Amino acid sequence: MSLGPVLVDLKGTTLSDAEREMLRHPLVGGVIYFTRNFESPEQIAALTSEIHALRDPPLLVCVDHEGGRVQRFKTGFTRLPAVRKLGQVYDRDAKHARHLAETCGWVMAIELRAAGIDFSFAPVLDLDRGMSKVIGDRAFHSRPEPAADLAHSYMRGMHLAGMAATGKHFPGHGGCEADSHVDVPVDPRRYEDILIEDIVPFERMIHYGMEAIMPAHVIYQNVDAQPAGFSKFWLKDVLRTRLGFQGVIFSDDLNMEGARVAGGYVERARAALAAGCDIALVCNNPQAAQQVLDGLGTHSDPASQARLIRMHGRGVIERAQLQQQTQWHQAVERLNELNEDTTLDLGLS
């Protein structure tokens, strides 16, 4: 059975019979975890193992685990700093910041891989323009070159841990104040301005070998009337053709307010896939996920299938084995020091 074009979530810390049946649906390609799915490192590893065993090839299992405000698993996992702290270090010592970024990417990825999780939706490649509250300290920097430099090091750490990288939110969510979770953000800038600024980190990371990208639920009104995640111009003309990206394109969550302009849930999934997404996320709404699975119809794309398979995690490491490594202890100590560095206090609660 191939991996389908829909990524879904779960209600709790164990699989119900109905969820097992859902995950065997041929349109399902993977599962995304949220905090409600986590109880302990041992529990999440067992749940992941059970999900992987349901299908061949195994379903993709992923999570948003960036650090800072967006870290789904806490107990038993290293507290990861908001990556904006790395940007602040970069302004003082770029070489040291790159080293810390690689360490951060490695710790994030290796701890998830020790639980069997294939990948995290990271790194964020948006620029912090000081206006987007939903981005803010999730961005490495306000300028494109430092952001790309740090993201490259972060991805290198992920790769060393056996994890593929997913850059988000193409072509950049930092230029508008509204939050696409609860609103339909509109960015009034010209295409030329976005191209020479916000797209730079994505272009660099594509060149460095980034495996996946997630577009923004943002309307760039002077470029296209559709949000980027539903736009053939952004995904096919710019991302695939101009930038030469050959990796996976994940939609952002189709349950977000920023996706409502595409219609009902089935229409949203169809629009995202038609625009160029390889897989559509339907999260935090089980009824909507079922609607998509019931109404989307057959879907076959060998190119998407080949891209999705490459998102599986590489290498196997047990949690007990990881915690015996000197490398892991030293890396965690460095990140703890970064978290505790009051000279980098962002003034955020």
92, two tokens? 């003082």
Strands (E), the chain: 6-8, 28-33, 60-63, 65-67, 70-71, 119-120, 166-170, 186-187, 212-215, 219-220, 248-249, 280-281
297, two tokens? 């119809």
Q: Do residues 279 and 29 lie in contact, with contact meaning Cβ atoms separated by under 8 Å?
A: yes
Q: Do residues 123 and 86 lie in contact, with contact meaning Cβ atoms separated by under 8 Å?
A: no
Q: In what order do the strands lie in the sheet with 60-63?
A: 119-120, 60-63, 28-33, 6-8, 280-281
DSSP secondary structure string for all residues of 16-50 = -HHHHHHHTSTTEEEEEE-GGG-S-HHHHHHHHHH
| 152 in active site | no
> Choosing from 187, 252, 253, 278, which is the catalytic residue?
252
Helix (H) or strand (E) holding 154: helix 144-160
| 181 in active site | yes
Return the closest-CA partner of residue 91 out of 149, 131, 135, 146: 146
> Choosing from 25, 99, 181, 299, which is the catalytic residue?
181
End-to-end CA, the chain: 46
Q: Which residues are catalytic?
A: 181, 252
